[in-house]
Chains A and B, each alone.
Chain A
Amino acid sequence: MSTTGSALGDSAIMLRRNFKHTVRNPVAVFNAVLFPVVIMVMFVYVLGDAFSVGVDYVDYATPGMILLAVCYGLGATATAVNSDMTKGVIKRFKVMDVSRGAVLTGHVVASMLNNLIAIAAIIGTAFLLGFRSSGSLLDWLSAIGLVVLLAFSIGWFTVALGLAAKTPETAGLGTVPLIMLPFFSSAIVPADKMGPGIRQFAEYQPFTPIIEALRGLLAGAPSAGDTIAAIAWCVGIGVLGYLWATSTFKKRA
């Protein structure tokens, strides 16, 4: 078997392992879906009418909620990666003739799949709350592509966070800033309505262009600038996460 082939095979085996973990602990998935949906209902159904953003609030908020759903699921990934490192099972894989990165790839793909479940729930809720998209099929496909790219990049970043943390508990805690970031972006309200300091932060942090790009695509009016910035941020986060993850993985026995 070729090296690439066996690496892919190993990754698939590891993914199946992660998948079994998820099935064994369905509450975690439920939790990862429930929280973003509750936040969405809170903001859109309870508070939404109070925000004046120029369009239907549900149309404005949906892209941000998609990001929130991605971020909220990351805690479980970081915890799972760290448990693998601290519970000893990793040593067994390391002394076997198994592709080095397979464990990490398995976690990243599992994280993406969990993200996609949460995103599907958010979009379903959005339609129930009256979300309407003017995006074409191509716009939707682009939006899905961007979300998958984000889930992949931030997945690697989270795996690195999980590897760098000392215990599973601190690993989970390490993703809290990622969960907070959407609130300090244009997810809930436009950045220019925020106070000084926060506004600049919101304008320049990576989630804002990603949300704006999604918003444009789902509204059927994609902005080239935002989309390019979003892709650049995703690639940047992904490369950084990948390099950080692989170097930390090498260092930890």
Chain B
Amino acid sequence: MRNSAIEVSGLRKAFGDKIVLDGIDLDVQAGTIFSLLGPNGAGKTTTVNVLSTLMKADGGTVRVAGHDVATEAKAVRATIGVTGQFVALDELLTGQENLQLMVDLHRVGSAGRRVVTELLERFDLSESAQKPVSTYSGGMRRKLDLAMTLVGNPRIIFLDEPTTGLDPRSRRTMWDIVRELVADGVTIFLTTQYLEEADQLADRIAVLDQGRLVAQGTSAELKRQIPGGHVRLRFADLGELDAAARFFTGSTRDDESLTLRVPGDGGTNSLRALLNQLDEHAIQPEEFSVHTPDLDDVFLALTGRSSTEAMAK
């Protein structure tokens, strides 16, 4: 049975004369991870703010858990949890007190103490539970922030760039927690700048650029639309670049940096074949590097601009 947790159609939002969201349509199935992928300034946080009732839309309809965010904000708030890009903690309280505050506001009652202890253990924060949050590291704050969001068992959770600025180990922990949540039937709406993160976690990915969705689909569908990986060869002079470009049809050359981009899936077989070809024709590149597709490739393929250009705009 199809069952939408989040339905968005024609969502528009502008700040003054700057259009931030220009007609967004989304449908997130309950119990799945949906990822909104895009560079800084694409409108990801604004989308989360509107969907989580923090901001009013200028146009379009948004239904979360079947409730209209504009007219039934209270009902929406009762079912969602939000972990923003910037942590929302009470710095003067301890980790335990922050969680206790959430437990009190959710009226968890007598089970509250147990909920707090369990969350502290689950997020590996028990040791620092009695210390003020102002002494926590960035990773610990993020973990506590998410733990606070989980109090009250929200069925739909918004995570706005939950791993930006985290070290690789904390990022893995975060990913594991997200997977556990979905296993329990929670719906996750995740924004990220990292293709890898969307690839690892999301059932469906939507690519946001300048307030418009430029692509939507599963990770596999999206990757089919982008050129995928390539091998980059750099040569000592133009003569060698010319020679190499003749042998590798389908490659793109850049005379300025003396490089040649040879498309390939990055697997060992295609790499071996490539190396053999180089050997056969006695071509010796100065530099050889393998590139797997990243957000930049997605952007280049979908918008004709790189994501850094999109950011600069």
Residues of A participating in the B interface, judged by any CB pair closer than 8 Å: 1, 9-10, 13, 16-17, 20-21, 24-25, 87-98, 253
Contacts and interface: CB of A to CB of B under 8 A. Distances in A.
> Would you list the 6 A-B pairs with minimal beta carbon distance, nearest first?
A92-B88, A97-B78, A97-B77, A88-B88, A95-B82, A13-B104
Given A10-B105, A88-B86, A89-B88, A95 B53 contact: yes
Interface in B105-149: 105-107, 132, 148
B87 interface: yes
Nearest to A84: B90
Contacts of B74: 97
A55 to B, nearest CB: 45
Given A13-B105, A17-B101, A96-B105, A25 B92 contact: yes
Given A89-B89, A98-B105, 17 more contacts: A10-B105, A20-B97, A21-B92, A24-B93, A89-B91, A91-B54, A91-B84, A92-B84, A92-B89, A92-B148, A93-B105, A94-B53, A95-B82, A96-B106, A97-B74, A97-B77, A97-B78
Contact of B93 (A13, A20, A95, A96): A20
B92 A253 contact: no
27 contacts: A1-B107, A9-B107, A10-B105, A13-B101, A13-B105, A16-B104, A17-B90, A20-B92, A20-B93, A20-B97, A21-B92, A24-B132, A88-B89, A89-B88, A90-B88, A91-B82, A91-B84, A91-B88, A93-B105, A94-B53, A94-B54, A95-B80, A95-B82, A96-B77, A97-B78, A253-B54, A253-B55
Contacts of A25: 92
Size band of the interface chain B makes with A: 20 to 34
A95 B132 contact: no
B92 A92 contact: no
A96 B82 CA distance: 9
Contacts of A253: 49, 54-55
Most B-side CB within 10 Å, residue of A16, A24, A93, A96: A96
A95 B77 contact: yes
B32 interface: no
B52 to A, nearest CB: 5
Interface in B61-96: 74, 77-78, 80, 82, 84, 86-93
A1 B109 CA distance: 14
B146 to A, nearest CB: 12
Contact of A95 (B54, B91, B92, B97): B54
Nearest to A83: B91
B93 A17 contact: yes
Contacts of A95: 52-54, 77, 80, 82
Most A-side CB within 10 Å, residue of B53, B78, B87: B87
Most B-side CB within 10 Å, residue of A24, A87, A97: A97
Contact of B84 (A9, A13, A87, A88): A88
Contacts of B80: 95
Contacts of B55: 253
A9 B107 CA distance: 9
Contacts of A17: 90, 93, 101
Contacts of A21: 92-93
A19 B86 CA distance: 25
A88 B89 CA distance: 7
B78 to A, nearest CB: 4
Most A-side CB within 10 Å, residue of B52, B90, B107: B90
B91 A87 contact: yes
A94 B81 CA distance: 11
Contacts of A24: 92-93, 132
Contacts of A96: 77, 105-106
Most A-side CB within 10 Å, residue of B82, B89, B101: B101
A6 B93 CA distance: 23
Given A95-B77, A97-B74, A88 B87 contact: yes
A91 B48 CA distance: 12
A89 B82 CA distance: 12
A155 B107 CA distance: 28
A211 B148 CA distance: 47
Contacts of A13: 101, 104-105
B91 to A, nearest CB: 6
A247 B148 CA distance: 28
Contacts of B93: 17, 20-21, 24
B240 to A, nearest CB: 55
Contacts of B78: 97
